[in-house]
Amino acid sequence: MALVHSAKANFNCSGFFEVTISKTFCICALLRVAVCLGFSGILDPQYRLITSVLGWTAYLICRTVYFQGFNEGKKDLKILFINNDKGWGGGQEHLKDLVIELLHNGVEVHFVVRFGSKSSTRFRELGVSVHQLPGHGLKDLLALQQLVVLLRRERFDIVSINREHDLLLTALAWKIAFPCRKSGRLMMSYHTATTRKQLLLGSVDAIICVSEHVRSRLLQANPGFTGKVSVLYNGIAIGGPPSVDKFNFDRHRRFFQKDGFPLIGMVGDFFKNQGEFVDMIPQLKQSFPALKVVFVGDNSDRALLDPLLAKIDMLGVENDVIFTGKVPREKIPDLFYDLDLSVTTYRNEGFGVVHLESLAAGTPVVAYNEGGFVDIFKGTHAGVLVDGRSDDFIAAVIDLLNDHENRFSMGVDGYELVKMKYSVQGMGQNYLAFYRKLSGTL
């Protein structure tokens, strides 16, 4: 009894060295018992049966004590998210929403982030453990060492890599931390489309892609991982259905109070082919002289913005274009309430959470039939997917702006689609089921 109590006391310690000492203590005790009983059996053959029974009993006791102490106090799942990025954008917002749902379901969540990054502050606001690693470059070796220590100390059920650039560092740390027997499962999440060869992707046990588009692009360059890939869609927080006023083209606007019908918006960073839609504005204005086009997104990068501004000036549509800059997340529903139509000319979107936000506000979408958002709109009445070029896109926009009844009907269907398939609660449950299956806790 003293042996068991002493070992169990050590297991209640959370540090790596205490756990290691406890494990060694149990193994040594087991060997000592086995040796003593073995000699007894050799000296007196009639006791060999009882020696075997007692030996196995001693083994099972030590094994039970070890794992009981190791698992004591553990929650349903213990997950580490690797997000060693210096910025904060849509991917981090999605991850934050997911973590909130996981916390509601009893999951213990940890983050690895870059030292001093925005993520270190914003993820810590969730009340989770945040571990900061040094920045990239010469400090990678220090980051590797710190990550190895963290993995061995915490023994996570799931380690989820959430940026392509973190795969190499994390996979190396994983191999060093557990050279013989793995502890938990390592997985990779892809939120953007890539056709690059992924070094050390074979180290992971599972891969999540946020759309079929992301999945197909990944497998183009990494065809050997088809069996490891699953597609899990993003979700958003969704409130009540759009008000009746939304479906009045002459309604009072909440965000763009000085503007009327038609108001078209494109939301996203300024590398997403906004220039192609700017080229369409003169033709659209022939049908709708009062047209206003809104570009929503962080416009602080002059290298991206200046070419767009030059094109706007060249076409003479500077009075028809509005730049909002980055809009606070809580204002997004009002912004989409004001828009009569949401558009995108970007063909390589990973998924397109902004389109879910548009649909949730009752605003239909026109997009090319390429990219992750095809999964959202294909086979639905919530948006129009255009096969073809700019002329076909312009025609689709004009048709919808002219047909109020159809546009409003699409707005109603869009809200119902998001409510049914893309709620943040549904996303949380889908990810939780995936994590449990991967870790073997189902």
25 with 135, same domain: the answer is no
For residues 38 and 115, membership in a common domain is answered with no
Cβ-contact 313, 238 below 8 angstroms: no
Give residue 57's pLDDT: 54
Shared domain for 91 and 221, answered yes or no, is yes
Both 6 and 51 in one domain: the answer is yes
Q: Which of 20, 44, 71 is the last residue of a domain?
A: 71
Whether 120 and 264 map to the same domain: the answer is no
Contact 313, 307 (CB under 8 A): no
Q: What is the pLDDT of residue 346?
A: 97
- Tens digits of pLDDT across the chain (442 residues): 333 333 333 333 333 333 443 444 345 444 444 544 444 444 455 555 555 555 545 544 444 444 444 444 445 799 999 998 777 777 888 899 999 999 999 999 999 999 988 888 999 999 999 999 987 667 788 999 999 999 999 999 999 999 999 999 999 999 999 998 888 999 999 999 999 999 999 999 999 999 999 999 999 999 999 999 999 999 999 999 999 999 999 999 999 999 999 999 999 999 999 999 999 999 999 999 999 999 999 999 999 999 999 999 999 999 999 999 999 989 999 999 999 999 999 999 999 999 999 999 999 999 999 999 999 999 999 999 999 999 999 999 999 999 999 999 999 999 999 999 999 999 999 999 999 999 985 4
Q: What is the DSSP string of 50-70?
A: HHHHHHHHHHHHHHHHHHHHH
Q: Do residues 216 and 267 both lie within one domain?
A: no
176 and 64 co-located in one domain: no
Give the total number of structural domains in the chain.
3
Do residues 228 and 329 both lie within one domain?
A: no
User: Which domain covers residue 153, as residue numbers?
Assistant: 78-235+425-439
Question: Running DSSP on this structure, what letter comes out for residue 109?
Answer: E
Domain ends where: 71, 93, 124?
71
Buried b (16+ CB within 10 A) or exposed e, 416-438: ebbbeebbbebbbebbbebbbeb
Angle, CA 422 vertex, CA 421 and CA 423 arms, to 5°:
110
Token couple for 32: 């000592």
Which residue, 31, 54, 71, sits at the end of a domain? 71
Asked if 273 and 352 sit in the same domain, the reply is yes
| 368 and 401 assigned to the same domain | yes
Domain shared by 66 and 153, yes or no: no
CATH code at 103?
Answer: 3.40.50.2000
- Do 351 and 266 lie in one domain? The reply is yes
* The model's pTM: 0.81
